Amino acid sequence: MTGLTYEVLNKDNLARTGRLTTAHGVIDTPVFMPVGTAATVKAMTPEAVAGTGAQCILSNTYHLMLRPGPERIKKLGGLHTFMNWPGPILTDSGGYQVWSLADLRNMDENGVEFRSHLDGSVHLLSPERAIEIQHLLGSDITMVLDECTSLDADMDEVARSMQLSLRWAERCKAAFAERDGYGLFGIVQGGLHDDLRAQSAEGLKDIGFDGYAVGGLSVGEGQDAMFRVLDGVVEHLPEDRPRYLMGVGKPADLVGGVLRGIDMFDCVLPTRSGRTNQAFTRRGALNLRNAQHREDPTPLDPECACPACSNYSRAYIHHLVKAKEILGAVLLTWHNLQYYQDLMAGMRQAINDGGLEAFASDFHSKQKEEPAEQME
């Protein structure tokens, strides 16, 4: 495996800092990757995303395969050119969205046939096609296709599904064209069962990947259960490869994940929250629709240097939100992404200084809930 270079720089208990080198640049880990589902990080320009310190974004194979289509993106120069993001891009395999968004038609050993949620057209996603699509997009980091099981599946079902995902992972590895600076990640499945998770991780290591993701979490199991799975699974992942917790999460999830040895995260939360009036701050979350903000001249977070905090009051953002102005979504998204990047940078610094435990204590002591929504 010479696709992606990963170097661990410093360790602090299970947590570590590292440097992942891709064809489109370096990623300092632990990293949070903003989500650009449809080839755009919603409400942001790529320059603004990069300005927050984000080094890598995630984009969704499922959405792009349906619209505008991977062949079209390839023809237009690949995803980096198409969306004007010159840095590294990680794409998921489309599996999760097929299960959560599409109308499932047929699922067997070969792959999954589904109807588009956009226009009802029928598509096939197989391990080979998932790899081909991500190749057409030009992803720096490609994810294997896996099957997702629901939280209430019994252990036999979770085991069967995990084994299928292992076989698909092997087919993905065979289909993946190795190139310097491009890599393929496996995905550990196994639900909330430590032994299945361990079996999945060992199976993936035998195949050999550039990095190892933990999938199927943050789907309603709760933070405690998620952390328990991480506590069990991380020891089965190789030290010298990046570990990626998919689709996670809240700020406290990131802190807990890094403490447990996770290097990479992605989540729609900071961007989606920005479009639903929420701001994450060093003192907890705010709902900007709340009437308490309407004459507040202070910024969202006085310790934040983002444009929203440098130039605007909570009162102004409250006004934008009430008036349903696009700039409200833009400023809140911008701030949330800055906050997430600042949090990751703070953790990287703390790990390098050997003080992540103290950083985490300080983080938790400052978080507090905002009073419940008030009526105007």
- Write out the catalytic residue numbers: 92, 266
231 lies in the site for a second copy, by CB under 8 A:
no
CB of 337 to a second copy, least distance (A): 14
CA distance 12 to 359: 12
User: How far is the C-alpha of 244 from the C-alpha of 227, rounded, in Å?
Assistant: 14
Provide, rounded to whole angstroms, the least separation between the CB of residue 361 and a second copy: 36
How far apart CA 228 and CA 192 sit, in angstroms, is: 8
Q: Is there binding between residue 374 and a second copy (CB under 8 A)?
A: no
What whole-number distance in Å separates Cα of residue 352 and Cα of residue 342?
A: 15
Q: What is the closest distance, in whole angstroms, from the C-beta atom of residue 82 to a second copy in the complex?
A: 6
Name the residue nearer to a second copy (CB basis): 74 or 115.
Answer: 74
Q: Is 120 in the site for a second copy (CB under 8 A)?
A: no
- How far apart CA 105 and CA 114 sit, in angstroms, is 5
Residue whose structure tokens are 């289509």: 69
Residue 322 interacting with a second copy (CB under 8 A): yes
Per rule CB under 8 A, is residue 323 in the interface with a second copy? yes
Element (H, E) at 308: helix 307-311
Interaction of residue 327 with a second copy, rule CB under 8 A: yes
**How big is the chain, counted in residues?**
376
Which residues, numbered 276-315, are part of the site for a second copy (CB under 8 A)? Answer: 294-295, 297, 307, 311-313, 315
72, 105, 167, 366: which one binds a second copy (CB under 8 A): 72
Dihedral sign computed on CA atoms, order 38, 187, 173, 110: negative
CB of 286 vs a second copy, minimal distance in Å: 18
Binding mask of the shown chain, residues 52 to 71, with x at each position contacting a second copy by CB under 8 A: ---------------xx---
Q: Hey, which residues between 76 and 105 contact a second copy (CB under 8 A)?
A: 76-77, 82-84
d(CA 289, CA 178): 49
3, 210 in Cβ contact below 8 A?
A: yes
Check residue 186 and report its DSSP letter: E
Q: Does residue 176 touch a second copy according to CB under 8 A?
A: no
d(CA 7, CA 26): 11
Positions that interact with a second copy (CB under 8 A): 38-40, 42-47, 67-68, 72, 75-77, 82-84, 275, 294-295, 297, 307, 311-313, 315-316, 319-320, 322-323, 325-327, 329-330
